[in-house]
A and B are shown apart, each in its own frame.
Chain A
């Protein structure tokens, strides 16, 4: 099969399968509801929780506090599970959290090569690229190539540390605080913290980008 044929086939396939899947899931929910296994109101709340409450803004608040409060930063690096609980974050897919700190010499990056392990309480649900074959295959072998895909390059002399989340330990990258935000409140600092900077595939924003 040529790549053109393949693409063409794949496109049609996706299109029809999308609506087919939509119908399939709707039917499945009906079956499970009628059998009394699931409560649609509970499903609504699960969705609402991860669409509106649990997301990377939580992690940004954690990072902003670590940037502002050296004692909190020390607690975060010592026991991240306990430290995030101070801000009210805990639970599913973050039961055993470890924070890893970027320095001028060391850049951390987190991946799950086997599936999609990701620290939900602080980052929410993972983006599609994090779960994709290109990221999962490349992050452990060519992390600089991954960073290039994200459009940045580390300064020469920076080592890379890749954390493959193969157990129930979840990793949160503590990025370096950008210069030029001295005296900022935690709330404003959190605006600098991007999701990707907490995975290690990006850097925080610069103060002029949000000022």
Chain B
């Protein structure tokens, strides 16, 4: 979706402000929100693209006024509400008011290290050859799906060059709707002036990782 999360190239007032000696978390609630979000994926059964969509699918003023972990929290609440794991009145009152929904799995302390070590690899077996080869010129499609996508607006409709081939990976646009539909994944590189016109920096090249259906021959 063309949401406020898709920030590449948006004119923004103010510089990047690094914080010296920044702590990993800035408040106790950030620690807990982070950990609850990681742990709830197991009983919740959602995947990373469902999580991303639950975070980004909100009005720009909402997305932009929340801090990072507030967005995580809002996304988590939405995912749990959608699946009936918690009810709106429980979120509202902060109290458990209804019986728990049976869940297949939960994350125990003993399972944490293995869960993190395993991660969630997205590469899948190739069922056919890749359409494009390294060095090919490709154009990204001009798409504006109302659902989740990982093709940023600033590269849509532009010509780039295939620089890397990463194998076949789960396709986020469909995975956010529950279908993996794996596709070949490429790194596609664009010249600065192709993306930003005559004001672009010709000494800069920028790439995105793009699934095959985002691309057509140029």
Contacts and interface: CB of A to CB of B under 8 A. Distances in A.
Contacts of A13: 65
Contacts of B152: 113-114, 164, 166
Interface string A102-118: 00000000000111100
B108 A42 contact: yes
A31 B96 contact: yes
List of 6 A-B pairs having minimum Cβ-Cβ separation, nearest first: A27-B94, A113-B8, A167-B209, A35-B100, A43-B35, A91-B119
A47 B112 CA distance: 11
Contacts of B151: 166
Interface residues of A, number: 81
Interface in B84-132: 85-86, 90-91, 94-96, 100-101, 103, 106-109, 111-113, 115-123
Given A21-B70, A164-B208, A167-B185, A43 B24 contact: no
Interface stretch (A65-73, A92-100, A178-186, A203-211): A92-100
A103 to B, nearest CB: 14
Grouping DSSP codes into helix (H, G, I), strand (E, B) and loop, the B interface class, with mixed when no group exceeds half, is mixed
14 contacts: A30-B95, A37-B85, A42-B109, A45-B112, A92-B119, A96-B123, A114-B7, A129-B19, A134-B17, A140-B9, A149-B15, A159-B205, A160-B203, A164-B207
A131 interface: yes
Interface of A: 13, 17-18, 21-32, 34-39, 41-47, 49-51, 54-55, 90-96, 98, 113-116, 124-125, 127-129, 131-144, 146, 149-150, 158-169, 196, 201
Given A36-B106, A38-B40, A137-B12, A95 B7 contact: no
A93 B185 contact: no
Contacts of A166: 150-152, 208-210
Interface in B131-163: 150-152, 154
B166 A96 contact: yes
A108 B109 CA distance: 38
A129 B16 contact: yes
Contacts of A139: 8
B10 A137 contact: yes
A113 B7 CA distance: 6
Contact of B35 (A46, A116, A140): A46
